[in-house]
Amino acid sequence: MKTRSAVLHTQPGRYEVTEVDLDEPRQGELLVKMAAVGLCHTDDHDVPPGSAPPLRLPLAGGHEGAGVVVGVGPHTPGWAEGDHVVLSFVAVCGRCRMCSTGHQNLCDLGARLFSGARIEDPTSFRMSYQGRPVGQAYGLAALSEHTVVDARSAVKIDPDLPLDKAALVACGVPTGWGSVTNMSEARAGDVVVVMGIGGVGINSVQAARAIGARAVIAVDPVEFKRETAKQLGATHTAATMGEATELARSLTNGQGADAAVVAVGVVTGDHIGEAVMSIRKAGTVVVTGTGSMRGGGGGVPFNHTMFTVFQKRLQGALFGGCNPRWDIPNLLAQYTAGTLKLDELVTRTYSLEQVAEGFDDMKAGRNIRGVVLFD
Ligand SMILES: NC(=O)c1ccc[n+]([C@@H]2O[C@H](COP(=O)([O-])OP(=O)(O)OC[C@H]3O[C@@H](n4cnc5c(N)ncnc54)[C@H](O)[C@@H]3O)[C@@H](O)[C@H]2O)c1
Ligand SMILES: [Zn+2]
Ligand SMILES: [Zn+2]
């Protein structure tokens, strides 16, 4: 069939709505009609001038999506047309060492998702443009009217849930939430700094409030972000990490924050260094934000002897350390219960045609989350 996708044809470039050919789902695959897709900063990392070339072009983008199954590959038990799904940017095999020890976010299948090809066969693609294969970001290409995904990248959800809110639980919500609840060791009574209030960091703010942090310091240069953070649980805000560090020290008798989450849009070593400075002895910095997919950001400037003698911890975090199969439905249950806010995170909606504008708004700090809605 033909479908329309947000495709990156050149690098640097912009996502362009492109009619592509989409193959039928094969065994173990699903054809999904997308309903809503959040615009996450990760989709932009290898797009602007100066960034490293992506792994393959053309690339159909988008990974924070929810939709409805409209086709099921042959011999694919457990799925039916009409199932509602959240797509997971980490596929889950359920069998590898990481999956079987409670770390589905680190499933071995992850290494195979960057090619944009099928998980089992790096030469096999389901999308093409003018006869050339089109890679699907994380095997998904969520920013498409229809897409074909591996069933291991889909999580079935309650069909009564609104898909435009469920989409957020595909990436930004678990990533930000779990960065605090799973990765930071922060607990009730602590002082938590969240650096960067986008679709990821705002959920670290919500999580810090939920675990009973006594102070949640939201840091962002954009005033609107700081104001929104206050509505969603921040007790204090700061425009710079210098201010936030002073604030954390003033609240802790000079010691510093118990934990800091780095959720800046494009993370550099300097950001991580500032976060390390803000925490107390034996505190934790969780690095959630990333830069180019090819790595980058340079070295992290901090005094490593002080880092050692203060016994600080620097912790990377993928998908907030969440398990997609458990945490996606569980976060949606928290939304239903009213303990997690999703409606307030969507600040603007776009049509697929407006996708490049949506990413521009993201980079200009106009959104907490922009969401593309499909008919
Ligand atoms: N680790 C993961 O699994 C994972 C998953 C999703 C996204 N990410 C990454 O998380 C990061 C955040 O994503 P997002 O979609 O929320 O981005 P976003 O662009 O929506 O938000 C980033 C925020 O950082 C703010 N910011 C910029 N410079 C800052 C500074 N020096 N101090 C404080 N704040 C600053 C911006 O104003 C913006 O509000 C990105 O790097 C993204 O790629 C990681
Ligand atoms: Zn994302
Ligand atoms: Zn696995």
Residue 124 lies in a domain: yes
Q: State residue 154's pLDDT score.
A: 98
Residue 360 lies in a domain: yes
Give distance in angstroms: CA of 42 to centre of ligand 2. Answer: 5
Ligand 1, atom 20: closest residue by C-alpha: 198
Q: State residue 302's pLDDT score.
A: 85
Same structural domain for residues 210 and 268? yes
Same structural domain for residues 142 and 209? no
Residue 14 lies in a domain: yes
Q: What is the total count of domains within the chain? A: 2
Q: What is the CATH number of the domain that holds 260?
A: 3.40.50.720
Q: State residue 200's pLDDT score.
A: 98
Give distance in angstroms: CA of 230 to centre of ligand 1. Answer: 18
Same structural domain for residues 21 and 116? yes
Find the domain containing 232 and state its range. Answer: 173-319
Same structural domain for residues 211 and 296? yes
Q: pTM, whole model, 2 decimals?
A: 0.97
| Pocket lining for ligand 1, CB < 6 angstroms | 40-42, 45, 171-172, 175, 195-201, 219-222, 225, 263-267, 271, 288-290, 317-319, 362, 365
Ligand 1, pocket-test mutation among 43, 63, 220, 225, most atoms within 8 A of CB: 220
Same structural domain for residues 49 and 100? yes
**3-class SS letters over the chain:** CEEEEEEECCCCCCEEEEEEEECCCCCCEEEEEEEEEECCHHHHCCCCCCCCCCCCCCEECCCEEEEEEEEECCCCCCCCCCCEEEECCCCCCCCCHHHHCCCHHHCHHHHHCCCCCCCCCCCCCCEEECCEEEEEHHHCCCCECEEEEEHHHEEEECCCCCHHHHHHHHCHHHHHHHHHHCCCCCCCCCEEEEECCCCCHHHHHHHHHHCCCCEEEEECCCHHHHHHHHHCCCCEEECCHHHHHHHHHHHCCCCCEEEEEECCCCCCHHHHHHHHHHEEEEEEEEECCCCCCCCCCCCCCCCHHHHHHCCCEEEECCHHHCCHHHHHHHHHHHHHHCCCCCHHHEEEEECHHHHHHHHHHHHCCCCCEEEEECC
Q: Average pLDDT by consecutive 10-residue portion of the chain (375 residues)? A: 96 93 98 98 79 73 98 98 97 97 96 87 96 95 98 98 98 98 98 98 98 98 98 98 98 98 95 97 97 70 92 98 98 98 98 97 98 96
